Amino acid sequence: MSNGTMTDDLHASATATVGGPLPRLSLAIVVGLIGLGAGAVVPTYFASDFVLRLGSEGLLLGLLALSVAFLMNQAGLVALGAASIYGGAGYLFAIGMSDWGLTPTAALCVAFLILLAYSAVLGALIVRTNPLAFMMLTLAAGEMISHAVLLEGLRDYTGGADGLVVRTTGTVLGIDAVRFADPAQFWSLAWVVTVLVGLTFWAIARSRLGAVLRAIRENEERMRFSGFNTFLPRLIGYVLVNIVAAIAGFLHVLNAGFVSPESLGLFVSTNTLVAALIGGISGSLGPILGGLIFSFAQDEFGARGLTQLLTGVAIVVFIVVFPRGVVGGLSGLSKRLGSWREAS
């Protein structure tokens, strides 16, 4: 296949998915405004502080799940090291303020740049590998970081197994730090960030970058043979999802005021993957919904004292009943009902 033909295919793939950029853009704006409005109403009229805290945890897990699902769906790559970026953001932010004497905004910016450089270097080393090797390398990198914070020689910086207390005062990026600790205000902030990230990934999936990533996922060798650079799109995709994981990590530490080795652990990464599979990986809504479902289900199971047992049963049931996730299953059911109505 020639380069011109491949380019035409990619363009057709992108535009066919979009169905016309202007109508889709208008729909995205309407959906975004409705989503933002709903987020402002919920904390005021419907939910208690406890529910808001639980919901905020679900949104942060949903952001992580969204980052993992995007890479799985677009590039066919499973990243098991999301927690290393999520927890690493909190550690770098805390160390920046306590040991480097930076203001909260400066500490956040420095931490972000360090994570960006780390993601670019690590990504440059691992995105060339096959999907299985990529998954194992992200797992290995994450485990190395989670164990590094426990080293006795770094205890003065990381707090060892005790973690670090993060006392944020003043403002962070112009936002009063007190707002991050208030359940209602933090929910609104987390909701806005989640909607914006979801719409951004939705747009990227329908852009040329998304079409190229999917073409590489389907047949990398053919893309390379046709003259396409298969390395750079994958690297960009990997860095993008790590940026989202870092944003979730910053929000978590600003809200909780604490960061510990558990935030870097494999447990967080596997929960992220499970949340993505429960909600569905084919769009932006599924992973976010999966994060919320997982968060509330964990609380309910914990109240019964059977967290691990009921979580395992629920995962099996969800994946068997909804192999494409809750959103994918409901979408398929809606289409079948529509077909039956037309046929009757």
Percent of the chain with pLDDT over 90: 37
As a whole number of angstroms, the distance between CA 287 and CA 225 comes to 34
Tokens of 140: 């290995």
Tens of pLDDT, residues 73-85: 999 999 888 889 9
Tens of pLDDT, residues 242-268: 999 999 999 999 999 889 898 888 889
Measure CA 92 to chain center.
19
Query: According to the model, what pLDDT value does residue 292 have?
Result: 92
Q: What confidence tier does 43 reach under pLDDT thresholds 50, 70, 90?
A: low
Query: According to the model, what pLDDT value does residue 301 have?
Result: 87
H-only helix segments in the chain: 3-18, 21-45, 49-75, 82-98, 104-126, 131-148, 155-158, 178-181, 183-205, 208-218, 220-225, 231-256, 266-279, 285-303, 307-321, 325-343
Query: Would you say residue 88 has pLDDT above 90?
Result: yes
List, in sequence order, every beta strand (DSSP E) within 126-281.
164-165, 171-172, 175-176, 258-259
Query: According to the model, what pLDDT value does residue 209 have?
Result: 92
Query: Would you say residue 19 has pLDDT above 50?
Result: no
Instruction: Determine the average pLDDT of the residues in 89-108.
Output: 91
Query: According to the model, what pLDDT value does residue 32 have?
Result: 65
- Greatest Cα-to-Cα distance within the chain, rounded to the nearest angstrom: 72
**Domains present along the chain, CATH in parentheses:** 24-342 (1.10.3470)
Percent of the chain with pLDDT over 70: 87
Are 255 and 181 contacting, i.e. CB atoms less than 8 angstroms apart? yes
Tokens of 7: 């380019």
Query: According to the model, what pLDDT value does residue 221 have?
Result: 86
Query: Would you say residue 233 has pLDDT above 90?
Result: yes
Question: What Rg value do the Cα atoms of the chain yield, rounded?
Answer: 21
pTM strictly above 0.75: yes
Query: Would you say residue 312 has pLDDT above 70?
Result: yes
Query: Would you say residue 229 has pLDDT above 70?
Result: yes
